[in-house]
Amino acid sequence: MTACEAVSDTQAECACGAGNADGTGPSGSASRDFRDAAGSGAGMSSGGPSGEAGLPFFEGCDPACLGCLAGRLSSAALEERKVARARRALAPWAERLAPLVTVPPERQLAYRDRVALAARHDPAAGWRFGMEGTADRRAVHRRDGASRARPFVSLMNCPLHSLRTREMLRHLGDALSAADPGGALPLAFVVLSGRQATLVLKSARDPGDVALGLPRLLDSLAATGGEGLWLHLHPAAGVRLFARNGWRLLWGTPRSRDERGLLYGPTAFAQLLPELHDTSLAAAADFLRPAPGDRVADLYCGIGASLALWRARGAEALGVETSREALDCAPRNAPGAPLLRGTCLARLPQIRPWLEEVPPDRRFVYANPPRSGFEPGLAEGLAACRPRRVAYLACSPGTLARDLRFFEALGFGVARLLPYDFFPRTDAVEVLALLER
């Protein structure tokens, strides 16, 4: 595979905060955005970067980062912040908000194996990957209105990164530094999606394998368990991480399989804690209770993890997704499920008649939209389909609150709200809303 096509540009998100790289990629359009701490090399001692006694400080944390709160608050304090955030946003339904579902402390570090990091060349250290620091954010703007550059923070050893992620970043940095000691490559980002790695160059010109140090790069990736290496030429790389064209598979296979056996590609969205994602899917399945003869419209279905569950319960399932890459993987992860490519709103004319082929008490909807929530008009369109129950996994409590008001006005009641800690040691909290008519 030499050239791959995507459908649209996408926005890059902070790699060490709550989000992953959402994006387009090889054969894909806009898709959304990933262990054991003891075995990962992440250490902990007393006293955080701020100097407060009793706060955890994790080896690899940089005081200038502030991309997350790993070294600044205890696990219990962080969980309290998440619950408080959800309660504030979902105050009208506070009595239906369940306790936070999280993972044991030993799983709250070294869990991130999907990252999108900015690339910078340092004359002394070579190529390093990270983000702009934010610790001194109040002093970023001078009184005269001029701004000053923020420090670049290397995240090569971030304690939230999995051991494999750290090893892959180290080997990529070493190989690129050896091949390009002067920092001439227009390397803008390095993106890791599990065992797939992508080098994003801010250029339309392919520098060639020698300039990339490909032989050493391939040996390094193979040694760390990498399975695919991509080059992405994107002259406008910046806020938009991926573009439509300019993809080349440098080495390996274009797809990998995760811990659950699900096929994915270099831009695929996946939850970082598979066991917690499975817990949320089980809760959704227990509420929807799909059975043979039922139909589940799975909106923003991604690579098909949820589709596979509905199919395993004997129900018919229809998936809707914008990413061509995800739709390349979904049929293999959930065989037999029909798939529609496009936005959910645009596909309502196909979703509605498909659901209406069965009685209303056999119609169900599962949705896992991006942080922006439902597209305007989608809730109304779904209500017209008269599903019996809806399970809605929301990335943002704020947008969920907005959409819940729409659903209530359309005759749905909020049965329960289940918060999940999909991004430990950060402020992020996701909420599964269970709705019924």
When the pLDDT of each residue in the chain is averaged and rounded to a whole number, the result is: 84
Contact between 368 and 302 (Cβ < 8 Å): yes
- In angstroms, rounded to a whole number, what is the distance separating the alpha carbons of residues 396 and 371? 5
Give the pLDDT confidence of 187-231 residue by residue, as tens digits.
999 999 999 999 999 999 999 999 998 988 888 888 899 999 999
Q: Which range is least confidently modeled, 129-138, 141-150, 234-243?
A: 141-150
pLDDT of residue 337: 96
Contact between 434 and 418 (Cβ < 8 Å): yes
- In angstroms, rounded to a whole number, what is the distance separating the alpha carbons of residues 155 and 331? 35
CB atoms within 10 A of CB 149: 8
228 or 239, which is more confident? Answer: 228
pLDDT of residue 32: 41
14-28, 184-198, 234-248: which is most confident: 184-198
405 or 148, which is more confident? Answer: 405
Expressed in percent and rounded to 5, the helix, strand and coil fractions of the chain are 25, 25, 50
pLDDT of residue 342: 96
Residue 40 has pLDDT above 60, yes or no: no
Q: Are 23-34+109-264 and 274-436 in the same CATH fold? A: no
Domain 23-34+109-264 has CATH 1.10.3210: no
Residue 104 has pLDDT above 70, yes or no: yes
Q: Which residue has the tokens 């599964």?
A: 432
- In angstroms, rounded to a whole number, what is the distance separating the alpha carbons of residues 63 and 55? 13
CB atoms within 10 A of CB 135: 16
**Which has the closest alpha carbon to 430: 376, 343, 344, 368?**
368
Give the full edge-to-edge strand order of the sheet including 430-436. Answer: 339-341, 316-321, 295-299, 363-367, 389-394, 430-436, 413-420
pLDDT of residue 1: 34
The helix (H) or strand (E) run that includes residue 125 is none
pLDDT of residue 291: 97
pLDDT of residue 67: 73
Give the pLDDT confidence of 138-190 residue by residue, as tens digits.
444 444 455 555 688 999 999 999 999 999 999 999 999 999 999 999 999 99
Give the pLDDT confidence of 261-314 residue by residue, as tens digits.
999 999 988 889 999 999 999 999 999 999 999 999 999 999 999 999 999 999
Residue 26 has pLDDT above 60, yes or no: no
pLDDT of residue 23: 40
Mean pLDDT of 34-62: 40
- In angstroms, rounded to a whole number, what is the distance separating the alpha carbons of residues 345 and 10? 19
pLDDT of residue 275: 95
Residues of the chain above pLDDT 90, percent: 69
78 or 33, which is more confident? Answer: 78
Q: Which range is least confidently modeled, 45-49, 56-60, 415-419?
A: 45-49
pLDDT of residue 3: 30
The count of C-alpha atoms lying within 13 angstroms of the C-alpha of 256, restricted to the half-sphere facing its C-beta, is 20
Q: Which residue has the tokens 């989000």?
A: 19
Contact between 106 and 38 (Cβ < 8 Å): yes
| Per-domain boundaries in the chain | 23-34+109-264, 274-436
Contact between 200 and 24 (Cβ < 8 Å): no
Residue 21 has pLDDT above 90, yes or no: no
Backbone angles phi, psi at 80, to 5 degrees: -65, -40
Q: How far is CA 212 from CA 226, 331, 361, in A?
A: 17, 35, 58
Look at residue 330 and give its three-state secondary structure: helix
**CATH architecture entry for 274-436:** 3-Layer(aba) Sandwich (3.40)
